[in-house]
């Protein structure tokens, strides 16, 4: 929803004219600005849409669903890997797991061989939730990409993967 960096491809909207004017002295790469901005704008819009229409009815946060999804795919995971897989920090995962465990969608299990580590297992209730939410989720995904052809959708995924790799390889530095 942020209109801040609004920028299409051909159509030059008022916002971008303004940006160009106000930033003229700064010698910016407006093309990459538009692309990256649209990544954020799109992600925000789609995520809001998903949270409101799919997740909220189940009282699930985004991260909670991702964690549940990962567990459903992989069966069980230890905290450490789970956080990496879900793309959140360890400290955040602790809170998310607290919430999920309170709802009995997930269970923490001590690892016998190493008392530092904690295993996480999805419960039957948790599995039910994923299997109920996932199709609805995917239905919305198909909706939001409905304006693209199949080829365009594939292209979009490919181009994004390239950017993703670059960003990850760039690292924190």
Partner DNA sequence: ACACTACTATTTGGGGCCAAACGATTCATT
Partner DNA sequence: AATGAATCGTTTGGCCCCAAATAGTAGTGT
Q: Return the residues of window 101-120 that contact a copy of itself according to CB under 8 A.
A: none
74 vs 76, beta carbon nearer a copy of itself? 74
Cα separation, 126 vs 104, in Å, equals 7
Cβ-count burial 66-105 (b if 16+ within 10 Å, e if not): bbbbbbeeeeebebeebbebbebeeeebeebbebbeebeb
Q: Which stretch binds a copy of itself (CB under 8 A): 15-23, 94-102, 108-116, 118-126?
A: 15-23
Alpha carbon distances (Å) from 26 to 5, 29, 93: 16, 9, 40
Structural tokens at position 107: 């269970």
Q: Which position among 17, 20, 108, 139 is part of the footprint of DNA (CB under 7 A)? A: 108
Q: Is position 8 an interface residue for a copy of itself (rule: CB under 8 A)? A: yes
Q: Which position among 12, 52, 92, 128 is part of the footprint of a copy of itself (CB under 8 A)? A: 52
What residues between 15 and 74 interact with DNA by CB under 7 A? 48, 52, 61-64
Q: Is position 140 an interface residue for DNA (rule: CB under 7 A)? A: no
What residues between 110 and 139 interact with DNA by CB under 7 A? 113-118
7 vs 60, beta carbon nearer DNA? 60
Q: Is position 88 an interface residue for DNA (rule: CB under 7 A)? A: yes
3 vs 116, beta carbon nearer a copy of itself? 3
Q: Work out how close the CB of 142 gets to a copy of itself at its nearest, in angstroms, rounded to a whole number.
A: 5
The DSSP string of 108-145 is: EEE-TT-TT-EEEEE-HHHHHHHHHHHHHHHHHHHHHT
Closest CA to 96 of 71, 123, 68: 68
Alpha carbon distances (Å) from 23 to 5, 20, 26: 12, 5, 5
Q: Which position among 7, 50, 71, 97 is part of the footprint of DNA (CB under 7 A)? A: 97
What residues between 18 and 47 interact with a copy of itself by CB under 8 A? 18-19, 22-23, 26-29, 31-36, 38-47
């Amino acid at each position: 929803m942020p209109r801040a960096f609004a920028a299409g491809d051909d159509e030059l909207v008022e916002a971008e004219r303004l940006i160009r004017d106000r930033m003229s002295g700064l010698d910016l790469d407006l093309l990459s600005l538009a692309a990256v901005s649209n990544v954020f704008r799109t992600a925000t819009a789609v995520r809001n849409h998903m949270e409101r229409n799919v997740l909220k009815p189940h009282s699930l946060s985004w991260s909670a669903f991702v964690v549940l999804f990962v567990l459903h795919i992989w069966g069980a995971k230890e905290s450490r890997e789970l956080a990496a897989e879900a793309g959140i920090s360890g400290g955040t995962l602790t809170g998310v797991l607290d919430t999920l465990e309170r709802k009995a969608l997930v269970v923490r299990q001590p690892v016998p061989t190493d008392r530092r580590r904690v295993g996480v297992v999805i419960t039957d209730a948790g599995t039910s939730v994923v299997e109920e939410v996932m199709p609805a989720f995917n239905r919305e995904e198909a909706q939001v990409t409905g304006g693209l052809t199949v080829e365009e959708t594939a292209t979009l995924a490919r181009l994004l993967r390239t950017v993703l790799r670059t960003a990850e390889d760039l690292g924190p530095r």
